[in-house]
Amino acid sequence: MTDTAQGFRSGIVAVVGRPNVGKSSLVNAMVGQKIAIVSDKPQTTRRGIRAILTTAEHQVVFTDTPGFHKPRTPLGHRLNEAVEAAVDGVDAVVHVVDAAAGVGRGDAFVFEHEVAPVNAPKLCVVNKIDRVGHHRLVPQLAAAGALGEFAEIVPVSATTGEGVGLLLELLVARLPQGPLLYPPDQVTDQTLETRVTEIVRGRALELTREELPHSIAVEIEELEVPDDPDATVRVEALVLVERESQKAIVIGRGGSMLKAVGTGAREELEALLGRRVFLSLRVKLLKDWQRDPRALDRLGF
Residue at 180 is within a domain:
no
The pLDDT assigned to 260 comes to 95
Residues 165, 200 within the same domain: no
The pLDDT assigned to 42 comes to 44
Residue 159 burial (CB < 10 Å; 0-12/13-18/19+)? middle
Domain end call among 121, 144, 173? 173
Residues 14, 122 within the same domain: yes
pLDDT, one tens digit per residue, over 96-154 is 999 999 999 999 999 998 899 889 999 999 999 999 988 899 999 999 999 999 999 99
Residue at 183 is within a domain:
no
Residue 96 CB coordination number (10 Å): 28
The pLDDT assigned to 76 comes to 53
Please state the domain count of the chain.
2
The pLDDT assigned to 66 comes to 55
The pLDDT assigned to 39 comes to 43
Q: Are 90 and 13 in contact (CB under 8 A)?
A: yes
Residue at 59 is within a domain:
yes
Name the region of 164 (left: φ>0; alpha: ψ -120 to 50; beta: rest): alpha
pLDDT lower than 50: segments of the chain: 1-4, 38-46, 67-69, 71, 80, 83, 86
- Report the C-alpha gap between 298 and 239 in whole angstroms: 14
Non-local CB neighbours of 170 within 8 Å, separated by 6+ positions: 123, 151, 152, 154
Residue at 4 is within a domain:
no
Distance of alpha carbon 197 from its chain centroid, rounded? 13
* Average pLDDT over the chain, rounded to an integer: 84
277: containing domain: 192-298
Residue at 125 is within a domain:
yes
